[in-house]
Chain A
Amino acid sequence: MNIFIKLLSTSYCYRVLGRLVIPSATGAVVLLLLGLWGGLVMAPADYQQGDGFRIIYVHVPSAFLSMMVYSAMAFFAFLALVFRIKLANCALRASAPIGATFAFLALLTGSLWGKPMWGTWWIWDARLTSELILLFLYLGYMVLDNALRQSGRDSRASCMLVLVGVINIPIIHFSVIWWNTLHQGPSLSAFAKPAIVESMLWPLLVMLGAYICIYGLVLVIRMRMEILKMDMKSAWVKGIL
């Protein structure tokens, strides 16, 4: 319990986060190299898609992380709103652009893969649509938080928006699926759960780990910056700078 109470102090938290930079960076680089080597060199080409399938090693982790980061943000928003933990707010603020980037990357890589495989850059498939809406939700939070900050208000309102969004995500997801089946969408769900061979699977899992490390690394760096911004006028920040 003691360590948790200590972590609530901004200066202590800043130092602890500083110590996490090197390990998470190392983890990210090692796992990334291993995963890319496994995915691009070791894994056999797909019998149908050839080498084109290899984009899965950047696409799936991005899509997964885009959802994971939003869940993390909901958790941070809850902490910030209910327990008034300012550091949770720093983590929330730091996470949003990262999550938005992952959502954008998922859409971009999916689109690049879709052109040769499906013959189109974009299709109103349920998964693509929900990912797009997720990106919009990230942007909505960032816009509101930015406006709040500029007018000198505290960020309770933007925390609330994240929580409202998290209630809406399942509703949006299922309504999009319903909408898609109504229109008799093309059966692209083979993409959803490919019965994937082990030699193709392990690099994917390693890449997933690498992406989580990247999220951790960028989160730690951005959070340190947010903490400095928040405590700009305090003595310990002036001491560091």
Chain B
Amino acid sequence: MSANQISHVLKRESLNLIRQPMKVLFPLLFFVLALSLFPLALGDKHNLLMQVAPGVLWLITLFTLLMGLESIFSDDLKQGVLEQYLLIRGSLQSYVYVKLFMHWFTSLLPIIILLPLLAQWFYLPWIVVRILMLTLLLGTPVLLIIGSVGASLALGLGQRGMLLALMVLPLFIPLLIFGNGAVQLVLQGVDATGPLACMGAFFFLALVGGPLVIQKALRWGVEG
């Protein structure tokens, strides 16, 4: 994984994004739209909205991520990019790391940045918004890596959306529990270091193990 290879993939991904800005906009729009449905469905009840907001925000983030995962590797497979990288370099290591980072940077980071604004729909106080952003910052990379493992394993198969959801949703559960747990603790005025530390551990575990599995699975996907 040399700097040259990384910068090459980075350049390609950035060009892709500049030429298809919709790729950044769509997840964000979906997130905002889906979020606005909750107050409409539950009614404008101050306390209720405040109580369900952390869980709702986490879930909608999770589903936004899931929808974006469908096409994360499949376009590159169709266009032969994966095959070329494998042929030229013999490994997909730099590709996987850069791809994961760019995907997180463009489709998940904007959500987290927009969170303080959207939290006003749910009357959340700043202290809760802060911990929510922190858990999402720690949690979304792990969700993305786990989801990408699923996406790479299901590469090139039909009906990917449903298939992917069935495969990876059970694996998302620990993150959901710890992320929400931390927020609930802060809501009760208790120190939330414990669950945050656990999420940090998941982050490093996923960062070390996930890309290995993804590389392997992508190679199988290319072989067909």
Q: A176: nearest residue on chain B (CB-CB)?
A: B177
Inter-chain contacts of B173 with A (CB < 8 A): 133, 172, 175-176
Given that A144-B154, A144-B163 are contacting pairs, would A160 and B213 also be in contact in the complex, using a CB cutoff of 8 Å?
Answer: yes
Instruction: Confirm or deny: A151 has a beta carbon within 8 angstroms of a beta carbon on chain B.
Output: yes
Contact A168 B177 (CB under 8 A): no
Q: Name A's interface SS.
A: helix
Q: Mark A66-107, 1 if CB is under 8 A from B, else 0.
A: 000000000000000000000000000000000000000000
Instruction: Confirm or deny: B5 has a beta carbon within 8 angstroms of a beta carbon on chain A.
Output: no
Q: Mark A154-178, 1 if CB is under 8 A from B, else 0.
A: 1011101100110110011001101
Q: Which of A30-38, A53-61, A134-142, A229-237 contacts B (4 or more CB under 8 A)?
A: A134-142
Given that A156-B220, A160-B217 are contacting pairs, would A175 and B166 also be in contact in the complex, using a CB cutoff of 8 Å?
Answer: no
Contact A157 B154 (CB under 8 A): yes
Instruction: Confirm or deny: B224 has a beta carbon within 8 angstroms of a beta carbon on chain A.
Output: yes
Q: A143: nearest residue on chain B (CB-CB)?
A: B166
**Cα distance A139–B221 in the bound complex, in angstroms:** 22
Name the one of A148, A154, A178 contacting B181, with C-beta atoms under 8 angstroms: A178
Instruction: Confirm or deny: A196 has a beta carbon within 8 angstroms of a beta carbon on chain B.
Output: no
Instruction: Confirm or deny: A179 has a beta carbon within 8 angstroms of a beta carbon on chain B.
Output: yes
**Cα distance A74–B101 in the bound complex, in angstroms:** 31
Given that A140-B167, A178-B181 are contacting pairs, would A147 and B159 also be in contact in the complex, using a CB cutoff of 8 Å?
Answer: yes
Inter-chain contacts of B221 with A (CB < 8 A): 157
Name the one of A157, A167, A171, A175 contacting B217, with C-beta atoms under 8 angstroms: A157
Instruction: Confirm or deny: B57 has a beta carbon within 8 angstroms of a beta carbon on chain A.
Output: no
Contact A148 B157 (CB under 8 A): yes
**Cα distance A176–B159 in the bound complex, in angstroms:** 30
Instruction: Confirm or deny: A153 has a beta carbon within 8 angstroms of a beta carbon on chain B.
Output: yes
Instruction: Confirm or deny: A195 has a beta carbon within 8 angstroms of a beta carbon on chain B.
Output: no
Inter-chain contacts of B134 with A (CB < 8 A): none
Instruction: Confirm or deny: B170 has a beta carbon within 8 angstroms of a beta carbon on chain A.
Output: yes
Q: Name B's interface SS.
A: helix
**Cα distance A161–B209 in the bound complex, in angstroms:** 13
Instruction: Confirm or deny: B153 has a beta carbon within 8 angstroms of a beta carbon on chain A.
Output: yes
**Could you tell me the distance in whole angstroms from the C-beta of A90 to the nearest C-beta in chain B?**
19
Q: B181: nearest residue on chain A (CB-CB)?
A: A182
Contact B171 A179 (CB under 8 A): no
**Cα distance A83–B75 in the bound complex, in angstroms:** 32
Given that A151-B158, A172-B174 are contacting pairs, would A157 and B163 also be in contact in the complex, using a CB cutoff of 8 Å?
Answer: no
Q: B162: nearest residue on chain A (CB-CB)?
A: A143
Q: Mark B189-224, 1 if CB is under 8 A from A, else 0.
A: 000000100100010000001000100110011001
Inter-chain contacts of B195 with A (CB < 8 A): 178
Instruction: Confirm or deny: B169 has a beta carbon within 8 angstroms of a beta carbon on chain A.
Output: yes
Instruction: Confirm or deny: B128 has a beta carbon within 8 angstroms of a beta carbon on chain A.
Output: no
Contact A147 B213 (CB under 8 A): no
Q: A156: nearest residue on chain B (CB-CB)?
A: B220
**Could you tell me the distance in whole angstroms from the C-beta of B189 to the nearest C-beta in chain A?**
14
**Cα distance A57–B138 in the bound complex, in angstroms:** 44
Inter-chain contacts of B170 with A (CB < 8 A): 133, 136-137, 140, 165, 168, 172
Contact A153 B163 (CB under 8 A): no
**Could you tell me the distance in whole angstroms from the C-beta of B11 to the nearest C-beta in chain A?**
30
Instruction: Confirm or deny: B184 has a beta carbon within 8 angstroms of a beta carbon on chain A.
Output: yes
Name the one of A147, A150, A175, A176 contacting B154, with C-beta atoms under 8 angstroms: A147
Inter-chain contacts of A176 with B (CB < 8 A): 173, 177
Contact A182 B184 (CB under 8 A): yes
Instruction: Confirm or deny: B156 has a beta carbon within 8 angstroms of a beta carbon on chain A.
Output: yes
- A residues with a Cβ closer than 8 A to B are 133, 136-137, 139-140, 143-144, 147-148, 150-151, 153-154, 156-158, 160-161, 164-165, 167-168, 171-172, 175-176, 178-179, 182
Starting from the known contacts A157-B154, A160-B216, A168-B170, 15 additional A-B residue pairs (CB-CB under 8 Å) come to A133-B170, A133-B173, A136-B166, A140-B170, A143-B167, A147-B163, A148-B157, A151-B158, A157-B155, A158-B153, A168-B171, A172-B173, A175-B173, A178-B181, A179-B181
Chosen A-B contacts, 20 in total, with CB atoms closer than 8 Å, are A136-B166, A137-B170, A139-B166, A140-B166, A140-B170, A148-B157, A157-B154, A157-B217, A160-B153, A160-B213, A161-B153, A161-B167, A165-B170, A165-B171, A168-B174, A171-B202, A176-B177, A182-B181, A182-B184, A182-B185
